[in-house]
Structure 1
């Protein structure tokens, strides 16, 4: 009788364990006690952002994972509760991908092809990164499927580039996409018609903006340092210069200089600069990410993502400009 009771209790505890199947990271809320492959992906993503220090992804959401989620949430400027839900996944750049919408850019053939939309580099996040990872996995270059372009994905890209006999830089651009798809990297730009040239220009512009944002996100957590211009320490304008300069765009060094040089816009778009009057005149700035968020180097936070609806930032907001 005792054995029967224990069996029932054990079975009940297994059914009660928070777990789900056939889901992609972002399709379900993950919290302490969950054991699932999605937790491994979450741990991979948190490791790539520097918030999960354990070398092995266990797939179990314990105290260490909960603290890593809390640390990430705090650095991203979102609600800190230690639970990986929609807000946390958005901050990670991850969205559920179990629906058929994923086939919009990656085919479901034995070897996926991938459409070139923007240059992807370390720090990038989102569905495009996940699609790149899937394509690399299918070709034997495991980069995970976290949707976060961290060191593991960068190494996978480098290994693939080396095997394909193309430039090895760990950045996924037109040449890498061409090699993945088995086409020439220059085939999409060989046409000399004006429409083709226009499309290339738009793509390059978009890639530049996303590259700037990816570079900016890659140094989240860097400390604040007056006059700093490197990941070892940034002031607010030094951080913006770092993100722009690393993507081939030279801008004024100071916030005041940026404000004077920028074309003012009433509704900021991704990559625009948002300015704040924390002292007299434009004295603080960040890079707008969309959805009311911006990334900046704050004196008390270092490089972090903040919400423009925060009372402090909304009260000191001066406007936005495009450089």
Structure 2
């Protein structure tokens, strides 16, 4: 943009080949702040359009074991036994878990070894379209997973939510989880 020029926004008309009639087309000057606001709004709208939906398949609480493999039941049982355990960054023992440590422990009970971080788990496993009880749910932004939980059925997941909290069950219908959902994976049959 040349020095001393002001960007304009066309209103009430399309760009015409001939000079517009008076009153048909007006130009409104735009400040740098206005341009910044318009740009941020466009980025926000673009980000919203690529949001995934958390697709699940179950008919109620999964811990009942209806049509689930013993591996899935054992994974969910191990995670459920950790309820109330304090969050500990980098933790993977009963003294404290972080989200990926909880998942490692639960899947370790059935002999499945998973990478240490949620992002490494996300990129190491094949994505599935619909989560079933016992599957992993990944959250973050872009292609970087920053959180993982175990789907328990009834649109609930068990996870280690963060500093100062304990392993807990949370609803997938919470806005934060819907907005940050990246995908699901099924390490167990």
Tell whether the structures are fold-level matches, with TM greater than 0.5.
yes
TM-superposed deviation, 1:261: 1.4
1:233 and 1:279 map into 2 onto residues whose CA distance is 28
Q: Give the deviation of 1:281 after TM superposition.
A: 1.4
Residue equivalent to 1:286: 149
Name the residue aligned to 1:119. Answer: none
SS in 2 for 1:237: helix
Structure with max Cα Rg:
2
Distance 1:243 1:279 in 2: 27
Structure holding more helix per residue: 1
Q: Is the Cα–Cα contact under 8 Å of residues 139 and 183 in structure 2 kept in the other structure?
A: yes
Unaligned runs of 5+ in 2: 1-59
Q: Give the gaps of 5 or more residues in structure 1.
A: 1-89, 94-124, 129-202
User: After TM superposition, what 4+ stretches of structure 1 lie above 4 angstroms from structure 2?
Assistant: 125-128
- Shift in Å, 1:247: 2.0
8 A contact 1:278–1:284 mirrored in 2: no
Identify the residue that residue 107 of structure 2 maps to in structure 1.
244
1:277 aligns with 2:153: no
Aligned residues: 127
Residue 259 (structure 1) aligned with residue 122 (structure 2): yes
Q: TM-score, normalised by structure 2?
A: 0.61
Q: In 1, are the aligned partners of 2:141 and 2:182 still within 8 Å (CA)?
A: no
Structure with bigger RCO (C-alpha 8 Å, 6+ apart): 2
Equivalent runs, 1:179-190 vs 2, <5 Å: none
RMSD across aligned C-alpha pairs, in angstroms?
2.5
- Partners of 2:176 and 2:87 in 1: how far apart? 19
Structure with the bigger percentage of strand: 2
Change beyond 3 A, Cα 1:206–1:280 = closer
After TM superposition, the score normalised by the length of structure 1 is 0.36
Separation in 1 of the partners of 2:141 and 2:95? 24
